[in-house]
Protein backbone atom coordinates (compact mmCIF):
# COMPACT_ATOMS: atom_id res chain seq x y z
CA UNK A 1 0.00 0.00 0.00
CA UNK A 2 1.41 3.43 -1.00
CA UNK A 3 1.72 5.92 1.87
CA UNK A 4 1.02 9.63 1.45
CA UNK A 5 1.33 12.60 3.84
CA UNK A 6 -1.08 15.47 3.14
CA UNK A 7 -0.31 18.68 5.06
CA UNK A 8 -3.32 20.92 5.48
CA UNK A 9 -5.37 17.73 5.30
CA UNK A 10 -8.29 19.21 7.24
CA UNK A 11 -8.66 22.15 4.88
CA UNK A 12 -10.92 22.57 1.88
CA UNK A 13 -8.54 21.17 -0.74
CA UNK A 14 -6.58 18.93 1.66
CA UNK A 15 -9.67 17.04 2.77
CA UNK A 16 -10.81 16.42 -0.81
CA UNK A 17 -7.32 15.12 -1.59
CA UNK A 18 -7.51 12.79 1.45
CA UNK A 19 -10.77 11.40 0.05
CA UNK A 20 -9.26 10.89 -3.38
CA UNK A 21 -6.16 9.05 -2.17
CA UNK A 22 -8.23 6.88 0.18
CA UNK A 23 -10.38 6.01 -2.83
CA UNK A 24 -7.22 5.10 -4.77
CA UNK A 25 -6.27 2.65 -1.99
CA UNK A 26 -3.47 4.66 -0.32
CA UNK A 27 -2.60 4.87 3.36
CA UNK A 28 -3.30 8.56 4.04
CA UNK A 29 -1.73 10.62 6.83
CA UNK A 30 -3.42 14.00 7.17
CA UNK A 31 -1.56 16.69 9.14
CA UNK A 32 -3.09 20.00 10.21
CA UNK A 33 -2.79 22.53 13.04
CA UNK A 34 -6.49 23.37 12.58
CA UNK A 35 -5.94 27.14 12.46
CA UNK A 36 -7.97 27.45 9.28
CA UNK A 37 -8.72 23.75 8.69
CA UNK A 38 -11.73 22.01 10.21
CA UNK A 39 -11.55 18.52 11.65
CA UNK A 40 -15.17 17.93 10.60
CA UNK A 41 -13.93 17.76 7.00
CA UNK A 42 -12.18 14.50 7.93
CA UNK A 43 -14.47 12.88 10.49
CA UNK A 44 -15.91 10.45 7.96
CA UNK A 45 -12.39 9.01 7.42
CA UNK A 46 -11.60 8.38 11.11
CA UNK A 47 -13.04 4.82 11.18
CA UNK A 48 -10.76 3.71 8.33
CA UNK A 49 -7.62 1.73 9.19
CA UNK A 50 -5.73 3.30 6.28
CA UNK A 51 -6.28 6.85 7.59
CA UNK A 52 -4.41 8.76 10.32
CA UNK A 53 -4.76 12.32 11.54
CA UNK A 54 -1.80 14.15 13.10
CA UNK A 55 -2.56 17.44 14.87
CA UNK A 56 0.68 19.27 14.15
CA UNK A 57 2.00 22.60 12.88
CA UNK A 58 4.21 21.83 9.85
CA UNK A 59 6.28 24.96 10.50
CA UNK A 60 7.74 22.86 13.35
CA UNK A 61 9.92 19.80 12.75
CA UNK A 62 7.80 17.01 11.23
CA UNK A 63 8.13 13.46 12.43
CA UNK A 64 6.29 10.65 10.66
CA UNK A 65 7.00 7.02 11.52
CA UNK A 66 7.36 4.48 8.72
CA UNK A 67 7.81 4.89 5.01
CA UNK A 68 6.36 7.61 2.82
CA UNK A 69 5.98 7.52 -0.97
CA UNK A 70 4.45 10.97 -1.43
CA UNK A 71 4.09 14.28 0.40
CA UNK A 72 1.51 16.87 -0.64
CA UNK A 73 2.14 20.27 0.97
CA UNK A 74 -1.27 21.94 1.16
CA UNK A 75 -1.03 23.59 4.58
CA UNK A 76 -1.53 27.37 4.36
CA UNK A 77 -4.10 30.01 5.05
CA UNK A 78 -5.50 30.59 1.56
CA UNK A 79 -8.03 33.38 1.60
CA UNK A 80 -7.16 37.06 1.70
CA UNK A 81 -8.85 37.70 5.05
CA UNK A 82 -7.01 34.71 6.56
CA UNK A 83 -3.58 35.76 5.48
CA UNK A 84 -4.22 39.38 6.47
CA UNK A 85 -5.18 38.18 9.94
CA UNK A 86 -2.30 35.71 10.36
CA UNK A 87 0.47 37.02 8.09
CA UNK A 88 3.42 35.56 10.02
CA UNK A 89 1.97 32.04 10.13
CA UNK A 90 1.28 32.36 6.39
CA UNK A 91 4.91 33.22 5.71
CA UNK A 92 6.15 30.49 8.05
CA UNK A 93 4.10 27.66 6.60
CA UNK A 94 5.21 28.60 3.08
CA UNK A 95 8.89 28.76 4.07
CA UNK A 96 9.69 26.75 7.22
CA UNK A 97 6.80 24.39 6.43
CA UNK A 98 8.03 23.49 2.96
CA UNK A 99 11.61 23.21 4.24
CA UNK A 100 10.45 20.63 6.77
CA UNK A 101 8.45 18.76 4.11
CA UNK A 102 11.41 18.68 1.72
CA UNK A 103 13.77 17.52 4.47
CA UNK A 104 11.34 14.77 5.42
CA UNK A 105 11.02 13.80 1.75
CA UNK A 106 14.79 13.37 1.47
CA UNK A 107 14.89 11.12 4.51
CA UNK A 108 11.95 9.05 3.26
CA UNK A 109 12.91 9.22 -0.42
CA UNK A 110 9.40 10.50 -1.14
CA UNK A 111 8.09 12.58 -4.03
CA UNK A 112 6.78 16.03 -3.04
CA UNK A 113 3.99 18.01 -4.67
CA UNK A 114 3.44 21.57 -3.49
CA UNK A 115 0.32 23.71 -3.69
CA UNK A 116 1.36 26.90 -5.40
CA UNK A 117 -1.07 29.47 -6.67
CA UNK A 118 -2.14 31.87 -9.39
CA UNK A 119 -1.14 34.54 -6.83
CA UNK A 120 2.48 34.02 -7.92
CA UNK A 121 1.39 36.02 -11.00
CA UNK A 122 0.19 38.88 -8.73
CA UNK A 123 -1.85 41.48 -10.61
CA UNK A 124 -0.89 40.07 -14.02
CA UNK A 125 0.11 42.15 -17.00
CA UNK A 126 -0.10 39.08 -19.27
CA UNK A 127 -3.49 37.54 -19.92
CA UNK A 128 -4.31 34.65 -19.73
CA UNK A 129 -1.38 33.59 -17.58
CA UNK A 130 1.00 30.92 -18.89
CA UNK A 131 3.52 29.24 -16.57
CA UNK A 132 6.37 31.17 -18.24
CA UNK A 133 5.02 34.51 -16.95
CA UNK A 134 7.06 35.70 -13.94
CA UNK A 135 4.32 37.76 -12.38
CA UNK A 136 3.68 41.21 -11.01
CA UNK A 137 3.69 40.94 -7.22
CA UNK A 138 3.97 43.70 -4.61
CA UNK A 139 6.18 42.05 -1.97
CA UNK A 140 5.31 44.53 0.79
CA UNK A 141 1.59 44.88 0.07
CA UNK A 142 -1.01 43.09 2.21
CA UNK A 143 -1.15 40.06 -0.12
CA UNK A 144 2.66 39.85 -0.26
CA UNK A 145 2.81 37.49 2.73
CA UNK A 146 0.93 34.83 0.77
CA UNK A 147 2.28 35.54 -2.71
CA UNK A 148 5.91 35.73 -1.65
CA UNK A 149 5.65 32.68 0.62
CA UNK A 150 4.34 30.70 -2.33
CA UNK A 151 7.05 32.05 -4.63
CA UNK A 152 9.71 31.17 -2.07
CA UNK A 153 8.11 27.73 -1.76
CA UNK A 154 8.46 27.18 -5.51
CA UNK A 155 12.11 28.31 -5.42
CA UNK A 156 12.92 26.06 -2.46
CA UNK A 157 11.18 23.08 -4.06
CA UNK A 158 13.05 23.59 -7.33
CA UNK A 159 16.36 23.91 -5.43
CA UNK A 160 15.76 20.53 -3.73
CA UNK A 161 14.95 19.09 -7.14
CA UNK A 162 18.04 20.55 -8.80
CA UNK A 163 20.60 20.18 -6.02
CA UNK A 164 19.39 17.07 -4.23
CA UNK A 165 17.72 15.30 -7.16
CA UNK A 166 14.47 15.11 -5.18
CA UNK A 167 11.35 14.25 -7.15
CA UNK A 168 9.12 17.31 -6.99
CA UNK A 169 5.95 18.65 -8.61
CA UNK A 170 4.47 22.17 -8.50
CA UNK A 171 0.80 22.90 -9.12
CA UNK A 172 -0.33 26.50 -9.55
CA UNK A 173 -3.91 26.49 -8.40
CA UNK A 174 -6.39 29.06 -9.69
CA UNK A 175 -9.62 30.01 -7.87
CA UNK A 176 -11.30 26.78 -6.82
CA UNK A 177 -14.67 26.24 -5.15
CA UNK A 178 -16.84 23.46 -3.83
CA UNK A 179 -18.23 21.87 -0.68
CA UNK A 180 -16.15 22.34 2.52
CA UNK A 181 -15.08 25.88 1.75
CA UNK A 182 -15.53 27.85 4.94
CA UNK A 183 -18.67 29.92 4.70
CA UNK A 184 -16.88 32.71 6.58
CA UNK A 185 -13.50 32.59 4.83
CA UNK A 186 -14.14 35.86 3.00
CA UNK A 187 -13.72 34.51 -0.50
CA UNK A 188 -16.19 35.66 -3.04
CA UNK A 189 -18.24 32.49 -3.50
CA UNK A 190 -18.89 31.67 0.17
CA UNK A 191 -19.30 35.41 0.85
CA UNK A 192 -22.04 35.79 -1.78
CA UNK A 193 -23.83 32.53 -0.91
CA UNK A 194 -23.64 33.31 2.83
CA UNK A 195 -25.07 36.78 2.20
CA UNK A 196 -27.89 35.36 0.07
CA UNK A 197 -28.74 32.75 2.73
CA UNK A 198 -28.78 35.39 5.51
CA UNK A 199 -30.91 37.73 3.44
CA UNK A 200 -28.17 40.36 3.09
CA UNK A 201 -27.11 42.31 0.03
CA UNK A 202 -24.17 40.88 -1.92
CA UNK A 203 -21.00 42.93 -1.45
CA UNK A 204 -19.13 43.61 -4.68
CA UNK A 205 -15.65 45.01 -4.06
CA UNK A 206 -14.71 47.76 -6.52
CA UNK A 207 -16.90 48.13 -9.60
CA UNK A 208 -17.12 44.36 -10.18
CA UNK A 209 -15.29 44.51 -13.51
CA UNK A 210 -12.38 42.43 -12.16
CA UNK A 211 -12.40 38.86 -13.44
CA UNK A 212 -11.79 35.41 -11.98
CA UNK A 213 -12.03 31.90 -13.44
CA UNK A 214 -13.61 29.35 -11.09
CA UNK A 215 -12.70 25.67 -11.07
CA UNK A 216 -14.81 23.00 -9.38
CA UNK A 217 -12.86 21.10 -6.73
CA UNK A 218 -13.23 17.62 -8.31
CA UNK A 219 -11.62 18.87 -11.51
CA UNK A 220 -8.73 20.36 -9.55
CA UNK A 221 -8.18 17.14 -7.59
CA UNK A 222 -8.07 15.13 -10.82
CA UNK A 223 -5.42 17.51 -12.22
CA UNK A 224 -3.33 17.24 -9.04
CA UNK A 225 -3.60 13.46 -9.06
CA UNK A 226 -2.36 13.31 -12.65
CA UNK A 227 0.45 15.78 -11.99
CA UNK A 228 1.70 13.84 -8.96
CA UNK A 229 1.95 10.66 -11.02
CA UNK A 230 3.54 12.45 -14.01
CA UNK A 231 7.26 12.99 -14.45
CA UNK A 232 7.01 16.79 -14.91
CA UNK A 233 8.91 18.89 -12.31
CA UNK A 234 8.15 22.42 -13.59
CA UNK A 235 5.06 24.38 -12.49
CA UNK A 236 1.70 23.49 -14.08
CA UNK A 237 -1.41 25.70 -13.97
CA UNK A 238 -4.57 23.89 -12.94
CA UNK A 239 -7.77 25.90 -13.20
CA UNK A 240 -10.86 26.44 -15.27
CA UNK A 241 -10.24 28.96 -18.07
CA UNK A 242 -13.88 30.12 -18.25
CA UNK A 243 -13.56 33.72 -17.09
CA UNK A 244 -16.29 35.87 -15.54
CA UNK A 245 -16.50 39.34 -14.00
CA UNK A 246 -17.35 39.52 -10.31
CA UNK A 247 -20.46 41.54 -11.19
CA UNK A 248 -21.72 38.78 -13.50
CA UNK A 249 -20.82 36.24 -10.85
CA UNK A 250 -22.96 38.08 -8.28
CA UNK A 251 -25.86 37.98 -10.74
CA UNK A 252 -25.41 34.23 -11.17
CA UNK A 253 -25.50 33.72 -7.40
CA UNK A 254 -28.63 35.88 -7.10
CA UNK A 255 -30.32 33.70 -9.72
CA UNK A 256 -29.06 30.43 -8.21
CA UNK A 257 -30.20 31.25 -4.68
CA UNK A 258 -33.41 33.02 -5.69
CA UNK A 259 -32.61 35.80 -3.23
CA UNK A 260 -34.47 39.08 -3.58
CA UNK A 261 -31.42 40.99 -2.30
CA UNK A 262 -29.42 43.42 -4.42
CA UNK A 263 -25.73 44.04 -4.90
CA UNK A 264 -23.92 46.79 -2.95
CA UNK A 265 -20.50 48.19 -3.78
CA UNK A 266 -17.59 48.30 -1.29
CA UNK A 267 -14.00 49.54 -1.73
CA UNK A 268 -11.66 47.26 -3.64
CA UNK A 269 -9.02 45.70 -1.35
CA UNK A 270 -5.39 46.83 -1.93
CA UNK A 271 -3.59 44.98 -4.74
CA UNK A 272 -6.71 43.01 -5.73
CA UNK A 273 -5.81 41.49 -9.15
CA UNK A 274 -7.84 43.00 -12.01
CA UNK A 275 -8.01 39.86 -14.10
CA UNK A 276 -7.16 36.22 -13.78
CA UNK A 277 -7.50 33.34 -16.21
CA UNK A 278 -5.28 30.28 -16.48
CA UNK A 279 -3.61 29.23 -19.68
CA UNK A 280 -3.96 25.45 -19.35
CA UNK A 281 -2.15 24.36 -22.53
CA UNK A 282 0.53 22.65 -20.45
CA UNK A 283 -1.94 20.67 -18.33
CA UNK A 284 -3.72 19.59 -21.51
CA UNK A 285 -0.51 18.53 -23.26
CA UNK A 286 1.31 16.91 -20.34
CA UNK A 287 -1.53 15.54 -18.21
CA UNK A 288 -4.26 15.20 -20.83
CA UNK A 289 -6.34 17.16 -18.35
CA UNK A 290 -9.06 19.75 -18.71
CA UNK A 291 -11.98 20.70 -16.46
CA UNK A 292 -15.20 18.75 -16.94
CA UNK A 293 -17.65 20.33 -14.49
CA UNK A 294 -19.53 23.40 -15.74
CA UNK A 295 -19.96 26.36 -13.43
CA UNK A 296 -23.74 25.81 -13.42
CA UNK A 297 -23.33 22.24 -12.18
CA UNK A 298 -20.53 23.01 -9.70
CA UNK A 299 -22.43 25.95 -8.23
CA UNK A 300 -25.56 23.83 -7.74
CA UNK A 301 -23.64 21.20 -5.78
CA UNK A 302 -21.84 23.85 -3.72
CA UNK A 303 -25.05 25.76 -2.98
CA UNK A 304 -26.71 22.53 -1.78
CA UNK A 305 -23.79 21.98 0.60
CA UNK A 306 -24.01 25.48 2.10
CA UNK A 307 -27.81 25.39 2.30
CA UNK A 308 -27.68 22.22 4.40
CA UNK A 309 -25.15 23.46 6.96
CA UNK A 310 -26.46 23.97 10.52
CA UNK A 311 -27.98 27.44 10.79
CA UNK A 312 -25.46 28.69 13.39
CA UNK A 313 -22.69 28.25 10.78
CA UNK A 314 -24.31 31.03 8.80
CA UNK A 315 -23.77 33.54 11.57
CA UNK A 316 -20.24 32.63 12.64
CA UNK A 317 -17.81 35.52 12.33
CA UNK A 318 -14.61 34.95 10.38
CA UNK A 319 -12.59 34.86 13.65
N1 LIG B 1 -14.91 39.95 -3.76
C2 LIG B 1 -16.09 40.69 -3.77
N3 LIG B 1 -16.93 40.57 -2.71
C4 LIG B 1 -16.69 39.78 -1.63
C5 LIG B 1 -15.50 39.02 -1.63
C6 LIG B 1 -14.62 39.14 -2.71
O7 LIG B 1 -16.36 41.42 -4.73
O8 LIG B 1 -17.52 39.75 -0.69
C9 LIG B 1 -14.00 40.07 -4.92
C10 LIG B 1 -12.54 40.31 -4.56
O11 LIG B 1 -12.28 41.69 -4.38
C12 LIG B 1 -11.84 39.73 -5.77
C13 LIG B 1 -12.75 38.58 -6.21
O14 LIG B 1 -14.01 38.83 -5.59
O15 LIG B 1 -11.77 40.67 -6.81
C16 LIG B 1 -12.26 37.23 -5.75
O17 LIG B 1 -11.92 37.31 -4.41
P18 LIG B 1 -11.49 36.06 -3.55
O19 LIG B 1 -11.18 36.58 -2.18
O20 LIG B 1 -12.52 35.01 -3.66
O21 LIG B 1 -10.19 35.48 -4.23
P22 LIG B 1 -8.87 36.11 -4.90
O23 LIG B 1 -8.95 35.63 -6.29
O24 LIG B 1 -8.91 37.61 -4.85
O25 LIG B 1 -7.77 35.57 -4.10
Q: In this predicted model, what pLDDT tens digit does every residue of 300-314 receive, in sequence order?
A: 999 999 999 998 888
Q: What does the pLDDT look like over 111-146, one tens digit per residue?
A: 999 999 999 999 999 999 999 999 999 999 999 999
Give pLDDT, residue 318: 59
Q: Residue 13, preceding bond cis, omega within 30 degrees? A: no
Give pLDDT, residue 187: 95
Residue from 187, 200, 204, 207 to probe ligand 1 pocket by mutation (most atoms less than 8 Å from CB) = 187
Low-confidence ranges of the chain (pLDDT < 70): 317-319
Give nearest CA residue, ligand 1 atom 18.
187
Give pLDDT, residue 316: 83
How far is residue 291 from each of residues 237, 240, 271, measured CA to CA in Å? 12, 6, 28
Spatial separation of the C-alpha atoms in residues 259 and 253, rounded to whole Å: 9
Give pLDDT, residue 46: 98
Q: Give Cα 120 distance to the centre of its chain.
A: 13
Q: Is position 146 annotated as part of the catalytic site? A: yes
Say how many Å lie between the CA of residue 187 and the centre of ligand 1: 5
Beta bridge partners of 252: none
Is the reported ipTM for this assembly greater than 0.90?
A: yes
Identify the residues whose C-beta falls under 6 Å from ligand 1. 79-80, 175, 186-188, 191, 203-205, 210, 212, 246, 268-269, 272
Q: Determine contact, residues 216/298, Cβ cutoff 8 Å.
A: yes
Between β-strands 202-205 and 263-266, what pairing exists: parallel, antiparallel or unpaired?
parallel
Question: Of 26, 146, 177, 225, which one is the catalytic site residue?
Answer: 146
Question: pTM for the full model?
Answer: 0.97
Give nearest CA residue, ligand 1 atom 14.
188
Amino acid sequence: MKRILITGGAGFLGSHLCDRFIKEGYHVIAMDNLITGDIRNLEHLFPLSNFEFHHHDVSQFIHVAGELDYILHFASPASPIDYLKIPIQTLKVGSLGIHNCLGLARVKNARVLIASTSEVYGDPTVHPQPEEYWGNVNPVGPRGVYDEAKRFQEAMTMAYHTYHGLETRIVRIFNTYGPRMRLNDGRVLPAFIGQALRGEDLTIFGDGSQTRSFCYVDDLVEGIYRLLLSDYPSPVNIGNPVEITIKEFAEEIIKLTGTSQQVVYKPLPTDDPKQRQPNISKAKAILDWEPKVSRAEGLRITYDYFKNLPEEELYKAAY
